[in-house]
Amino acid sequence: MKKKVLIISGGISKERTVSLETGKQVAKELKKNGYSIRVCEPDQKLTFHTKNFKPQVIFNALHGQFGEDGYIQSILETLKIPYTHSGVISSAKAMDKEISKKIFLKNKILTPKFFSYSFDKHNKKLTNLIEKKLSFPVVIKPINEGSSLNVFICSKANILKKLKLLKNYKRILIEQFIPGREIQAAIIGKRKLGAIELKPRRQFYDYQAKYNSKAKTEHIIPVNLSKKKYQELMNITLKTHKLMGCRGVTRSDFKFHKGKFYLLEINTQPGMTKLSLVPEISAYNGISFFSLIKLILKDASINK
């Protein structure tokens, strides 16, 4: 009997387009390999699809808010069907950049200095506060977005102008800018999958650099690190994955500067599109796209 997999993609976040592409690629690969597939949106028909289709596992292909912050995971728990990627609590912790960075620091994982900022404070002396706590340039970003959406590197001259672009968020993160190499590393289950370095032509590896092929970001694999440094990188990545209580696949984003790895964030639902990094890392290490999907499905669970 064909194994039935329900794929949830799309959603209402700003990453809807990426999620649809992830769902499409996963569905195509599973169907090609004999699985029975149904793709649906995370809407009111979700319960109908689960009762009608009776999947053995749910592949969560959502990205961004509602899809990887614990909300959809809470709903999936009630369905009592194993689902992929991290559970409710680990998803919520990882998606909240302030909470996750506090966890990193508590567990002696190096991360850029930061503080959160609420727009209802009307802090007219913000530039003075930044100079006191961090110094310019800084990175400003939403607390709970993914795919580097609305992330800006700011100087003292343009900080107030850029802040206006984030005024619809109640709370944002203001973070020390770390120059250096952009390196990302992945884990599947308890396995160190590997790492990749990125050299974007843009200011940094932002949304356009990630998903627009015209941006022509250079992907470097294997990463040019000593064996000792590479081992250190992968140890931090696995430690973070375990620390956050994650399952399935995760990707951790680092800056490497003056011999030190600065962990920026951990992504509990990295993309599975043609331009995504985790499939590329996997392929380099001898794991096909289909084998990667099977590993993710194998780690599906509930109540974690």
Catalytic residue among 267, 276, 282, 299: 267
Residue 70 appears among annotated catalytic residues:
no
Catalytic residue among 147, 148, 150, 282: 147
Catalytic residue among 21, 29, 197, 251: 251
Using DSSP's 3-state secondary structure scheme, residue 189 falls into coil
Residue 267 appears among annotated catalytic residues:
yes
Give Cβ neighbours of residue 49 (< 8 Å, ≥ 6 apart): 6, 38, 40
Residue 194 appears among annotated catalytic residues:
no
Catalytic residue among 10, 11, 15, 282: 15
Residue 253 appears among annotated catalytic residues:
yes
Write out the two tokens for 74: 């809470």
Please give the order of strands across the beta sheet that includes 152-154: 114-118, 171-176, 138-142, 152-154
Catalytic residue among 265, 276, 282, 299: 265
Residue 251 appears among annotated catalytic residues:
yes
Q: Are 105 and 99 in contact (CB under 8 A)?
A: no
Identity at 284, one-letter amino acid code: Y
Please give the order of strands across the beta sheet that includes 181-188: 218-220, 191-199, 181-188, 249-257, 260-267
Catalytic residue among 10, 64, 248, 271: 271
Catalytic residue among 253, 262, 276, 282: 253
Residue 265 appears among annotated catalytic residues:
yes
Residue 38 appears among annotated catalytic residues:
no
Q: Residue 80, exposed/middle/buried by CB under 10 A (0-12, 13-18, 19+)?
A: exposed
Strand partners, 192: 187
Active site residues: 15, 147, 211, 251, 253, 265, 267, 271
